[in-house]
Amino acid sequence: MIWARAEGCRVWDEQGREYLDLTGGFGVAALGHGNPTIREAVASAPVVHALGDLAEAEATQRLRAALPWPAKLGVTGEDAVEIALRTALLATGKPGIVAFDGAYHGMGLLALAATGLERFREPFAAWLPGPVHRHAYGEDPGPLPGDAGAVVVEPVQGRAGSRVPPEGFLPTLRRRCDEAGALLVVDAIFTGLGRLGEMWPGADVADVLCIGKALGGGLPLSAALFVRRDLEGVWDLGVEDVYTHTHTGNPLACAGALVVLEEVPKLLPRIRELSERFAADGWHGAGLLRTKRKHSAEAFRAGVLTIPVGNLSQAAPPFTLTDAELDEAFSRLSR
């Protein structure tokens, strides 16, 4: 399928067929496809590209001020995880990573090593760094290994099918990290910025919180947020930044992000309402990260776009989804 046009919660293909979009482009279009406020912010940006970490644009500075904690910016979600895990190594001197089955943290080699989906890791196993100590998601891992510098975890697992851990799981990990002198990295790239009905899931226990996907309003942008503020200082390693990108802090993406940070908090009550409607229709998960036992190919034939997760359909729709659109999607999916 080729997307020819996307607007709000609807997508049209190259033949002109219309689909209701419950994917939000993997959760990126939180404010709907082609959001006019984001379009205007991007179109009116006075700087298109600055000089990365050497000279930021004003929009990048405004974004840093709008975020609740100091941030090291990235381009992809994987960047944010990479930054967080490297922060743990710099802060603790310990290379070990505690991760979980079913986890998805990205495709770069370090993030891939922590990812718990074997189909992604196996082709590159010979190159993957470590050590990585893997445990069952949702269970107390027990005392951490002596080499563990970080635990990395998703508040709700996305690629594993919207898996919700038992209550108390994240606080237990916080306690284990405190006992071992390790950092707790919460990967909220898919789940953050309103997806679960709150802006910063896991921030109450995290040392570093990773966000991405919805952050740039459709443009590539991510951030590792130093909830433990002193961790920002571990990157003071000299004149040059030792982890950077040409497009770090891209002004256009930051202009979009400023709209996201202003508008999403207003939608949190609506997200909770929509979450209840998905739950009542038999969708499992949390917030607006839901799965149901229906193959995505069937949903596609019915004119509804969902994310394929094995034999499940996953929904991560825009937060602007209306009741009428949701009724229409449910009706199409029930055929």
- Tens digits of residue pLDDT in 92-148: 999 999 999 999 999 999 999 999 999 999 999 999 999 999 999 999 999 999 999
Q: What is the pLDDT of residue 271?
A: 98
Assign 52 a pLDDT band (cuts: 50, 70, 90): confident
Q: Give mean pLDDT, residues 197-212.
A: 98
Assign 203 a pLDDT band (cuts: 50, 70, 90): very high
Residue 43 confidence (pLDDT) above 90 = yes
At 215-252, the pLDDT tens digits run 999 999 999 999 999 999 999 999 889 999 899 999 99
How many whole angstroms separate alpha carbon 99 and alpha carbon 184?
11
Domain ranges within the chain, ordered by starting residue:
3-35+266-333, 41-259
Q: What is the pLDDT of residue 324?
A: 98
How many whole angstroms separate alpha carbon 225 and alpha carbon 155?
15
Q: What is the pLDDT of residue 81?
A: 98
Q: What is the pLDDT of residue 273?
A: 98
Assign 63 a pLDDT band (cuts: 50, 70, 90): very high
How many whole angstroms separate alpha carbon 78 and alpha carbon 80?
5
CATH number of 41-259: 3.40.640.10
pTM above 0.85, yes or no: yes
Q: Worst-scoring range by mean pLDDT, 179-183, 252-256, 292-296?
A: 292-296
First-last CA distance in the chain: 22
Assign 54 a pLDDT band (cuts: 50, 70, 90): confident
Q: What is the pLDDT of residue 58?
A: 96
Check if CATH label 3.40.50.1000 holds for domain 3-35+266-333: no
Q: What is the pLDDT of residue 60?
A: 97
Mean model confidence pLDDT for the chain: 97
Q: Give mean pLDDT, residues 25-30.
A: 97
Q: What is the pLDDT of residue 335?
A: 81
At 283-335, the pLDDT tens digits run 999 999 999 999 999 999 999 999 999 999 999 999 999 999 999 999 999 98
Q: What is the pLDDT of residue 129?
A: 96
| CA separation, residue 162 to residues 134, 155, 226, 273, 274 (Å) | 19, 10, 26, 18, 16
Q: Which residues contact 144 (CB under 8 A, 6 or more apart)?
A: 96, 98, 133, 151, 176, 177, 179, 180, 182
